[in-house]
Structure 1
Amino acid sequence: MTDQTSKGITYPESTDHTRLWEHFQQMASDVNGLLVSGTDVQVFTASGTWTRPAGCKFVDVWVQAGGGGSGGVPATASTTAACGGAGAGGEFARGFYSASAVGASQSVTVAAGGTAGAAGANAGGDGGSSAFGALITCNGGGGGTAGSAAVTGSIGGANGGQGGTGGSFRLTGGDGSNAQVISGVPLKYNNGGNSFLAATRRATGTAAAAASGFDGYLYGGGASGPSNGNSQSAGAGNKGGAGAVIVISYIA
């Protein structure tokens, strides 16, 4: 007589003393079918459909939302300056699932980065949301605040992406940094927020003249903000980094 474990491994009962080699052979076969022998890694940088590969036992899913764009800056006078607010990083989540839990396929949504604020006092766009079917969703980082011309003033950074659902591990995106103008000089620390998959994006070092920011890093980084010194024309912000979805299948 034989019995099985909760995982389906066959073993002989204590009263069964004949042909034990058959039971050991069956046990080896059962265990062999559970051992991972390879991986299939799919990196989605555009929306599409994930199809479960043959022999898949477990799936590790990484979902990164898009970063926010930075705000634009208006024209300045001889005594004023301006800084555009920085974009924030997108939310990240990760989930580990059995092959049966994810099913034969899942739709994959990959976020675009937030749009750059147009030249003038215009805010940057929020980063888009990424998703792996309905199992994991992540929200994009906020777009940077529009700049304003001032002798002295402050611009707040955008909030990092948050509020998605699913997965077993989740991180809010990094906030975009603030910016200030003091005595007609822009202080350049309007850095783009980081994400789990992207580093912080620094501001430029130029303060006296017009300076654009930098686009957010891939994947999901916020854009750094632009600035205007005295007597400069209006300038545009920069775009946030697009998101991504990474699916790692463990194959027996």
Structure 2
Amino acid sequence: MTANTSKGITYPQSTDHTRLWEHLQNLATTADGIIAGSADVQVFTANGTWTRPVGALWVIVEVQAAGGGSGGTPATAASQGTSSPGGSGGEYARGILTAAGAGASQAITVGAGGTGGSAGANAGNNGGNSSFGALITAIGGSGSQAGASGSSSSSVSLAGADGGSGGSGGDFRMQGGDGGCSQCMNGFPVKLNNGGGSYFAGVQRSSGISVGGTGGISGNSYGGGASGASAGPSQAAQAGAAGADGCVIVTTFKA
């Protein structure tokens, strides 16, 4: 007569008179079926379908949402400067699931980076959400507002976009990094408008202090927000840039 542990290992009971080597063989066979022997790693950078591998024991799912785009800036007069804030990074979420909990298959959604605002006073767009079926969802980073102009006798400051947050599922999540603020002082753009970082991506630098016009810089992969645009006096309108796409990574440990 035999019984099973809570982890599924079969062991003999005192009334079992099977030979010792048979007990050891049975123990080794059952243990082999519940101890991880290999890992299957699937990285999704576009929408797709995850199918549970044969022999799956448990599954680690990492979901990274996309970053937000940055706003554009209007044309400036001789005494004006302008700068748009940075877009924010996308949210990250992770879940550890049993094979049964992960299901036989799941639809994978990978968020697309938010597009940048076109040249002129146009806001950037939010990054797309990423998800592992209905089990885990991460929220995309916010696009930044459009740039505003400050004159030689005034200053203007605009807040960067808030990092993506508020998703569902999983056992750990991290908010995306906020975008940097934009500021113009006495008609001169002071470039503090970096793109927000994410779990996988570093902060995207601003393009430096310049009286000339510069567009935004696209966010770093995966899930980073775009840095903002700027222009000094007597410059043409500038466009923002796109945030980076997200990703979904599914690691399955198999017997």
State the TM-score, normalized to the length of structure 2. 0.96
- Is the aligned partner of 1:241 residue 2:254? no
Partner of 2:119: 119
Give per-residue Cα distances to partners, 1:163-212, cap 9 Å, x unaligned: 00000110000000101100111001100000001110001124211011
Extract unaligned runs of 5+ from structure 1. Answer: none
Number of aligned residues: 252
In structure 2, C-alpha distance between the alignment counterparts of 1:144 and 1:244, rounded to whole Å: 22
- Is the aligned partner of 1:232 residue 2:235? yes
Partner of 2:42: 42
In structure 1, C-alpha distance between the alignment counterparts of 2:18 and 2:149, rounded to whole Å: 90
In structure 2, C-alpha distance between the alignment counterparts of 1:123 and 1:25, rounded to whole Å: 67
Equivalent residue in structure 1 for 2:184, among 162, 181, 184: 181
Give per-residue Cα distances to partners, 1:192-241, cap 9 Å, x unaligned: 00000111000112421101121001110000001000000111100000
Look up the SS of the partner of 1:123 in the other structure: coil
State the TM-score, normalized to the length of structure 1. 0.98
Alignment identity in percent? Answer: 56
Partner of 1:58: 58
Look up the SS of the partner of 1:21 in the other structure: helix
The 3 A distance-change label for structure 1 pair 106 and 122 is same
Look up the SS of the partner of 2:21 in the other structure: helix
How far is 1:15 from its partner?
Answer: 3.6
How far is 1:17 from its partner?
Answer: 4.6
In structure 2, C-alpha distance between the alignment counterparts of 1:118 and 1:92, rounded to whole Å: 28
How far is 1:60 from its partner?
Answer: 0.7
Partner of 1:72: 72
In structure 2, C-alpha distance between the alignment counterparts of 1:9 and 1:64, rounded to whole Å: 37
In structure 2, C-alpha distance between the alignment counterparts of 1:15 and 1:245, rounded to whole Å: 51
Partner of 1:107: 107
Partner of 2:172: 169
Partner of 1:155: 158
Give per-residue Cα distances to partners, 1:64-84, cap 9 Å, x unaligned: 000000000001111110001
Equivalent AA in structure 2 for residue 233 of structure 1: A
Partner of 1:209: 212
In structure 1, C-alpha distance between the alignment counterparts of 2:148 and 2:188, rounded to whole Å: 13
- Is the aligned partner of 1:198 residue 2:201? yes
Give per-residue Cα distances to partners, 1:83-135, cap 9 Å, x unaligned: 01110000000011111111110000000000110111110000000000011
In structure 1, C-alpha distance between the alignment counterparts of 2:16 and 2:126, rounded to whole Å: 67
Extract unaligned runs of 5+ from structure 2. Answer: none
Asked if structure 2 preserves the Cα contact closer than 8 Å seen for 1:123 and 1:145, the reply is yes
Asked if structure 1 preserves the Cα contact closer than 8 Å seen for 2:65 and 2:246, the reply is yes
Partner of 2:221: 218
Equivalent AA in structure 2 for residue 55 of structure 1: G
Asked if structure 2 preserves the Cα contact closer than 8 Å seen for 1:12 and 1:20, the reply is no
Look up the SS of the partner of 1:173 in the other structure: coil
The answer to which of 19-28 and 38-47 deviates more is: 19-28
Equivalent AA in structure 2 for residue 145 of structure 1: Q
In structure 1, C-alpha distance between the alignment counterparts of 2:18 and 2:147, rounded to whole Å: 84
Asked if structure 1 preserves the Cα contact closer than 8 Å seen for 2:2 and 2:10, the reply is yes
Look up the SS of the partner of 2:150 in the other structure: coil
The 3 A distance-change label for structure 1 pair 167 and 213 is same
How far is 1:14 from its partner?
Answer: 2.5
Partner of 1:139: 139
In structure 2, C-alpha distance between the alignment counterparts of 1:18 and 1:189, rounded to whole Å: 75
RMSD of equivalent CA atoms:
1.0
